[in-house]
Amino acid sequence: MTYETIEVHPIAGALGAEISGLDLTTLGNQSFSELHQAFLDHRVLYFKDQPLDDEQLEELTMRFGPFGDTPFVEGMPGHPNIIEVRKDADETSTHNFGGRWHSDFSFQEAPPSATFLSARVTPEAGGDTMFADMYGAYDALSDGMKELLTGRNAMHSGQRSYGTKGRFAKDPNITRMAIRPSEEGDVETPHPIVRTHPETGRKALFINQVYTVRLEDMTEAESKPILDFLNAHSTRPEFTCRIRWNENGLAIWDNRCTQHYAINDYHGHARLMHRTTCAGDRPV
């Protein structure tokens, strides 16, 4: 696509683009239309210098769609649709929020369509986020594997993180974020292993190592070899890009066809992000 009002610079061969040449607080209709097309084309967008306050972050999110539901994590006072993704300088846990490959809240009946992450405090080095292209991961599968997966569901659940026996229930001090595990986290929801993007019509793998617990009508042990292969395959380097954050940086990603991973390599330094999501559709 030829862009007239924005500048689009690809980050990697698979996915991702850095966007410049616009102010997200004064988006006109043409600029937003081009931005939305870049979002669909590149899946992950990064803006190096967009110092949005919380109201502006909410307004931008709502340009893309209504807010998504954020279970188990408390929203900010006065801004219930924004959560703080934080790690303080004196925290030493080997676990961080988002520190494994996943797509946001895939255990929901209608997982978020898009996620917005605005950097407030960043370490001098470290704390990058990696993304994986689930279109490319699907396309690279053999015809036999595609046939095996087509029409099959996998079960998604928040049990490993937010359930009654999940990591936040076992160790409430694992993070200072306001996370509230519950029995709702143990619920399993079926989704197609191969989903069709509702806007582009492209097929993408829809599994991840955090929330995909097994294949439908199979045990976890029976499912493990297939899921292990798909999880390793979908995060191969050639399917990924990496964002190095700077203060006032903003990322927007398509949760329907990507995974992401927040790297926990900045012990002794603070990192604070404000996150919103847009509501999505049930995967088909």
Catalytic site residue from 43, 86, 104, 214:
104
Catalytic site residue from 156, 160, 256, 275:
275
If you count them, how many residues does the chain have? Answer: 284
Contact partners, residue 41, CB within 8 Å, separation at least 6: 1, 17
Q: Which residues of 186-200 are buried (b: 16+ CB within 10 A; e: fewer)?
A: bbebebbbbbebeee
Q: Is 104 noted as a catalytic residue in this protein?
A: yes
Q: Is 152 noted as a catalytic residue in this protein?
A: no
Q: Is 102 noted as a catalytic residue in this protein?
A: yes
243 backbone dihedrals φ, ψ, rounded to 5°: -105, 125
Residue with tokens 């990322």: 251
Catalytic site residue from 43, 102, 256, 274:
102
Catalytic site residue from 191, 260, 271, 274:
260
Q: Is 260 noted as a catalytic residue in this protein?
A: yes
Cβ–Cβ < 8 Å for 149, 283: no
How far apart are the C-alpha atoms of 178 and 168, rounded to whole Å? 10
159 backbone dihedrals φ, ψ, rounded to 5°: -60, -35
Q: Which residues are catalytic?
A: 102, 104, 260, 275
